[in-house]
Structure 1
Amino acid sequence: MELRSTRSEGIAIITVDAGRIDAAAAIRFKDKMRTLTKDGPDHVVLDLAQVEFVDSSGLGAIVAAMKQLGPRQRLDLAALRPEVDRVFRLTRMDRVFTIHASANDPGSLAAG
């Protein structure tokens, strides 16, 4: 699993370069998220455009990544594919996370 971080307008955009966040990748995902968000900006956006599948372990890893952020940081999600979006809606995690249609427009992310 590869995570890539870029910064734009004070927002860290972390792109998941993998098709799955599942039990096999969950621990690596959490560890990499911790490294990328430590001492980072207050607003972090997880770009899931390439992710086609998230299982319960993957969902738990994303929630854990949110919980390990500093007290002033927040984690939003962006670019969920329909299959991944369905998982977030069925588990009502869409009420926990702010979900953006795209990570390509940081200006709109700042307003969200």
Structure 2
Amino acid sequence: MKYTVDKHDIYTVLRIDEPQINSLNAPQLKSELVFFHNEGVEHMVLDMEQIEYVDSSGLSAILTGHRLWRDGGLFVLCNANHAAVQRLIEISKLDKILIIIPTLDEAIDYVMMEQLEKDFASEEEE
């Protein structure tokens, strides 16, 4: 699976540079997500701009990311703009549980705002 990684202090962007997430590359995506989580990535943004098709294995990999970051971090999908991908997400009702943001810039802004709110709430508790 081809991908690029853009690491920042509080988030990492994983951009899939392939047209599909399917049974051939989904296991590697799951492995990479587990690796990044175990490495301490606080928030993960999955950039799906190149993705035109996702099968059930791909959905499973995406859900793995959601499960890994649901306790304390954020797992955000962005650029899931291809019609077939949007349809699959809606049909499977994943749009109800996943954080899906239209663009990468908006996804980064979302992560930054959520982190600011988290930091502010922890300061109030002190």
Question: How many residues are matched?
Answer: 112
* TM-score of the two chains, using structure 2 as the length reference: 0.77
Structure 2, unmatched stretches of 5+, are 115-126
- Please tell me whether residue 24 in structure 1 is matched to residue 24 in structure 2: yes
Give 1:70 shift: 7.1
Identity of aligned residues (%): 22
Query: Which amino acid letter does the alignment assign opposite residue 78 of structure 1?
Result: C
Whole-Å Cα distance in 1 between the matches of residues 31 and 43 of structure 2?
19
Equivalent residue, structure 2, for 1:110: 112
Give 1:68 shift: 3.0
Equivalent residue, structure 2, for 1:49: 49
Higher RCO, 1 or 2 (CA under 8 Å, sep at least 6)? Answer: 1
Whole-Å Cα distance in 2 between the matches of residues 18 and 46 of structure 1?
13
Structure 1, unmatched stretches of 5+, are none
* TM-score of the two chains, using structure 1 as the length reference: 0.85
SS at match of 2:76: strand
Equivalent residue, structure 2, for 1:38: 38
Report if aligned partners of 2:27, 2:61 keep a CA contact under 8 Å in 1.
yes
Give 1:9 shift: 6.2
Whole-Å Cα distance in 2 between the matches of residues 90 and 70 of structure 1?
22
The structure with the largest alpha-carbon Rg is 2
